[in-house]
Amino acid sequence: MALVLLGTEGCHLCEQAQALLLNLNGKIPCNLYLEDIAESEDMVARYGERIPVLKYEAEEGDMAGPEIDWPFSEQDVLRFIQKIA
């Protein structure tokens, strides 16, 4: 199971989300990846005003999985993982 944090460089909310997720390290049974949406015009169009977004990725490149928008708490992330596990 993989979670992808969608964001971009210089986004203070993305930095807050990343710090929150790092605090959960070891408490969640999945890999966490960071993806900069600035590398894709499609991603900017889809997520530009919503970042940071935490997304479940069943397979690499699968962008159809469930997601949650910021703001989210540690409890929100744990519930999100329980729902998709």
Provide the CATH number for the domain around residue 15: 3.40.30.10
Cα 64–chain centre separation: 13
Task: Please tell me the pTM assigned to this model.
Answer: 0.91
Say what the pLDDT of residue 15 is. Answer: 98
Q: How many domains does the chain have?
A: 1
Q: pLDDT digit string (tens) for 3-60?
A: 999 999 999 999 999 999 999 988 888 889 999 999 999 999 999 999 999 999 887 7
- Domain hosting 11: range is 2-84
Res 65 pLDDT > 90: no
Name the residue among 83, 70, 82, 65 with its Cα closest to residue 20.
Answer: 70
Res 69 pLDDT > 80: yes
Please enumerate in sequence order all residues whose Cβ is within 8 A of that of 41, keeping only pairs 6 or more positions apart, or say none: none
Tell me, what amino acid is at 61?
A: G
CA distances 59 to 2, 4, 12, 43, Å, are: 8, 11, 28, 17
Question: Which tokens is 7 given?
Answer: 């964001």
